Structure 1
């Protein structure tokens, strides 16, 4: 597989794919930031594997543990000690999941201690507008009304852009929900005459509960324990959550069981899956790719309960070794 194809693998979008072709010579820096805000869930595994791919491609990857950002965003009650504990748990979970040891972890606390960080933030602010900052607020799950009541919320997008520039990032990695911040970074970089970071957008996994009444899509959330599979979950937790997961027959869109297969299992943990079906219902069979699974599921050739059973066994093998270490720390 060529470098560009590896880079693009399992992403939602690369902005831009053409620019990414220039990233494979010399020393290149990649960045991703995580806001410590609770227990890590299985979406972290997507990032662990993508980061490992970037390291193999020659990138020097920095993971920002964004404790100051979490405080601005009122996560864990804004208690910096709880936020730091959460960040340390996240760091351990990524390492236990097999993150390359060459990846560097950085705390936002250490960045903001340098006056140069705030000088850069001021330059960024002078090259943006309030309207443009307002458009970026969804990255933190906040509305304009939230920010109007607490002005620190407006600083958050500026900090995220500053992180990208301060760490000299050639590539910024994040979920599709972070697009506004990184597109803001690209716009401001052009105004300031800086290099524009390539954006690597990663997919989000649907909530185990399915979409809300008014929502087209609802992602796994740390604030709703039954909506997500945590890396601290036990065998019984995994079995219960997958058994109860939203998984309508013949529908793949916003289907969390299908999402986990598509974005996590087939790309990184299994080249094929075995569907253990009773002989009275046709007997067991093997699915060799996600494309095959998607086709069969759309045609209602795979029963949701059979698929859930297959996924459960795989997830137990993936999550429990991590969970056992985290829960024994």
Structure 2
């Protein structure tokens, strides 16, 4: 472990705050000990519309910037296409633009200046000869089993899956080298991929990187918050009425804090966001008692387990705080015709095909109709056969 002075130690504490895990932290420590700024990237595949879970990464990015890190945001458009065609090629470009708008708006909503961020489009370098050759090199050294295992919690799994899903893991590992970073930031669901990067990159002569692992946020319906599961998440452009409805329907059993998506929203989004804005507290108004004011999540969880804080009090407080937090994002969207046009092109409404009017088959609706029709056809054929027989000239009898 590198020896750090007080200033470097403070920077390290901010970099690692609220992380679930740090892989190879000595890499970050040695950079700080030298007085340099770590270069860190966070990547997002431009597939479904970003939701409130993206605040977790945004808040961590804000802390990295405050710690003097260089932060790169990778808009992984090619990854989006490779992940079982979640983003068709004709939509990828506009979805990348949409993500750039949303990510900037999230950071600005919590008071983070975005001019220090570097946005990189994956396709801007992932089609270069150097990158392509590295894909070939790594593909020759990584087995199908290992590639599938690395992306198991990221890439959509299906029977007889396309080969592109295996390439996804290889590309993400190579991004660390080609973005020239010291570390990658990502969720706990990417941990297997991070471990693969540490193992795979040295095989083709590249150095290993550190990995900053953020905790996973429980969805409103329990389990992982996901863009593809509507009931689990709140879209960043959802209005106040929609936010209220989704929070009201969210699973939040009394006295149960595990997999409680409403408490997770406070822990990983609302309290940290309030801290970035200068006053880290979460207020729960109560009808017949004094408000409950929380400055740390441990006390909130304790009160919830003891039924001092009830779901009936917690949900309206989360609704109010989240509505306030998201208001600047929605105001920016409403004020930007460009953003609205990008949204329409990135996420066009599904085409609903008109149902063809079926011609009624009366024969199938009347028992015996088909049998009767067959009998009539046979009778007609028999009559026509007899008629033809009568029309044939009589064959002369053979002479004895």
1:7 shift after superposition: 1.2
**Is the aligned partner of 1:59 residue 2:69?**
yes
* Alpha carbons 1:89, 1:326 under 8 Å: kept: no
1:141 shift after superposition: 3.5
Partner SS state of residue 271, structure 2: helix
Size of the aligned set, in residue pairs, is: 317
Match of 2:224 in 1: 219
Match of 2:298 in 1: 291
Q: Find the partner of 2:121 among 104, 107, 114.
A: 107
Match of 1:81 in 2: 90
Q: Which piece of structure 1 moves more, 44-53 or 254-263?
A: 44-53
CA RMSD, aligned part only? Answer: 1.9
User: Which consecutive residues of structure 2, in runs of 5 or more, have no partner in the other structure?
Assistant: 1-8, 340-400
For residues 115-155 of structure 1, give each alpha carbon's deviation from its aligned partner in whole angstroms, at most 9, with x where no partner exists.
11112222323342222112113143333x54x43112111
Q: Which piece of structure 1 moves more, 65-74 or 183-192?
A: 183-192
The correspondence of residues 1-329 of structure 1 with structure 2, limited to 5 A, is 2-24=10-32, 25-76=35-86, 78-97=87-106, 98=108, 99=112, 100-143=114-157, 145-146=158-159, 148-210=160-222, 218-269=223-274, 271-279=280-288, 282-328=289-335, 329=339
* Alpha carbons 1:170, 1:195 under 8 Å: kept: no
1:108 shift after superposition: 1.3
1:75 shift after superposition: 4.4
Which of the two has higher C-alpha Rg?
2
Match of 2:346 in 1: none
For residues 190-235 of structure 1, give each alpha carbon's deviation from its aligned partner in whole angstroms, at most 9, with x where no partner exists.
434432111111122212112xxxxxxx211212222201111101
Q: Which piece of structure 1 moves more, 106-115 or 269-278?
A: 269-278
Partner SS state of residue 112, structure 1: coil
1:49 shift after superposition: 1.9
Partner SS state of residue 156, structure 2: coil
Q: Distance in 2 between matches of 1:258 and 1:222?
A: 19
For residues 230-274 of structure 1, give each alpha carbon's deviation from its aligned partner in whole angstroms, at most 9, with x where no partner exists.
111101111111111111111111110111111111222252222
TM-score normalised according to structure 2 size: 0.75
* Alpha carbons 1:95, 1:101 under 8 Å: kept: no
TM-score normalised according to structure 1 size: 0.90
Partner SS state of residue 248, structure 1: coil
User: Which consecutive residues of structure 1, in runs of 5 or more, have no partner in the other structure?
Assistant: 211-217
1:38 shift after superposition: 2.0
